[in-house]
Amino acid sequence: MKKTALLGSTGSIGTQTLDIVRENGDIRICSLAANRNTELLEKQTREFLPELVCVFDENRAKDFRDRVRDLPVRVVSGMDGLIEAACVPSADIVVTALVGMIGIRPTVEAIRAGKDIALANKETLVTAGHLIIPLVKENGVKLLPVDSEHSAIFQCLQGNRGNRIAKIHLTASGGPFRGFTKEQLSRVTVADALKHPNWSMGQKITIDSSTMVNKGLEVMEARWLFDVSYDQIEVVVQPQSIIHSMVEFEDGAVMAQLGTPDMKLPIQYALYYPERRFLPGKRLDFSSIGQITVEKPDPEVFEALKIAYAVGKKGGNAPTVFNAANEWAVARFLKNKISYMGILEAIHTALDKVPFIDHPSLTEILSTEQTVYEVLHCQQQ
Ligand code: MG
């Protein structure tokens, strides 16, 4: 019986994780954590009966405590509560599916507590990879990627006995604006950006896919997960989302992982690694696919990708600045407060104005995030 803590249980990855738990029937959910959606969280709590539930929002936590009074569950809140949910003693693996930098501290504490991590929170490695990777090694825990591309790379590396990676070909779908001109991009609306051609995901990541900020964050994640340099990671656009990523070895052989675009596969693979379980759903039908095409990302349209490489190579707190500025800007864009191109402008402004820190500590990473918000907020006044 796998014992799992699930942070971010009401989001897209969280609910799909619980689908897998339901379908397999041999995973125990020890703790759940969510931010605001207490209605769904209550249903999940009644179904999976965790011993601990964190409702991040303190006021909602009070109300939630009343609602589940009849259950043997402890309800906690805030960052301390989130850390408690991540470190719940009975769990041996933590699925970190929180959106944003809020996921970093609970992940650090879970690693320190000896838990394996099924990582679905990009910000953790993007902003704190230099701290997380040594911590993972020190504590002898597994860091299992849940993102489809990183899971693909991880799957391609199975059975590889110490052979070096020559190159990672990180695939991208190109999102809804592949082939657009800059002029067309300037007229993009929230509804346009939320229409992803292949993947069904949360709002923030869907916008990030359209700008390719998401791919930029994934490049930085791949650098840490697979210990390669930025020059060894190449982004290729694969519009049908059939190839989920590829690894090239020194002899030129390329291994790829293919499949239908279904996040349940990487989630289930991380939960049961190295076992492969039956997963219901559509299979690739090669006779009807016709063609799998690959192209270069257009640097004009996907400027964010170029910035991400520069930011990744610079290191220090630059990836944090990039990520926090994007997080701030996407939230504003979703509320129609800034334009689509305003997302890139915010990233440029923050990178210009926020002081650089080399080898930032966890505290400095978190304070950098605050500085970015302050700088952008002042700029807008
Ligand atoms: Mg991805």
Least-confidence region, from 163-172, 178-187, 221-230? 178-187
Contact 99, 11 (CB under 8 A): yes
Q: How far is the CA of 6 from the centre of ligand 1 (A)?
A: 19
Contact 255, 235 (CB under 8 A): no
Q: How far is the CA of 170 from the centre of ligand 1 (A)?
A: 9
Alpha helices (runs of H) in 73-147, residue ranges in sequence order: 78-86, 104-112, 122-139
61 CB-side CA count, 13 A: 21
Domains and CATH numbers, the chain: 2-145 (3.40.50.720), 148-260+270-307 (no CATH), 315-381 (1.10.1740.10)
Average pLDDT over the chain, rounded to an integer: 95
- Cα dist from 61 to 17, 33, 57, 76, whole Å: 23, 11, 6, 7
Q: Provide, rounded to the nearest whole percent, the portion of the chain with pLDDT above 70.
A: 100
Q: How far is the CA of 358 from the centre of ligand 1 (A)?
A: 27
Q: How confident is the model at residue 203 (pLDDT cuts 50, 70, 90)?
A: confident
Q: How far is the CA of 218 from the centre of ligand 1 (A)?
A: 7
Distance of CA 295 to the CA centre of its chain: 24
pLDDT of 7 > 80? The answer is yes
Q: Which residues are found with C-beta within 5 Å of the ion, ligand 1?
A: 147-149
pTM higher than 0.85: yes
The span from the CA of 87 to the CA of 108, in Å, is: 10
> Shortest CA distance to 196 belongs to which of 180, 219, 173?
173
pLDDT of 381 > 90? The answer is no
Q: How far is the CA of 373 from the centre of ligand 1 (A)?
A: 25
pLDDT of 135 > 80? The answer is yes
3-state secondary structure of 236: strand
Residue type at position 123: E
What tens digit of pLDDT does each residue of 237-254 get?
Answer: 999 999 999 999 999 999
Q: How confident is the model at residue 65 (pLDDT cuts 50, 70, 90)?
A: very high
What tens digit of pLDDT does each residue of 256-302 get?
Answer: 999 999 999 999 999 999 999 999 999 999 999 889 999 999 988 89
The reported pLDDT for the residue numbered 99 is 86
Q: How far is the CA of 379 from the centre of ligand 1 (A)?
A: 31
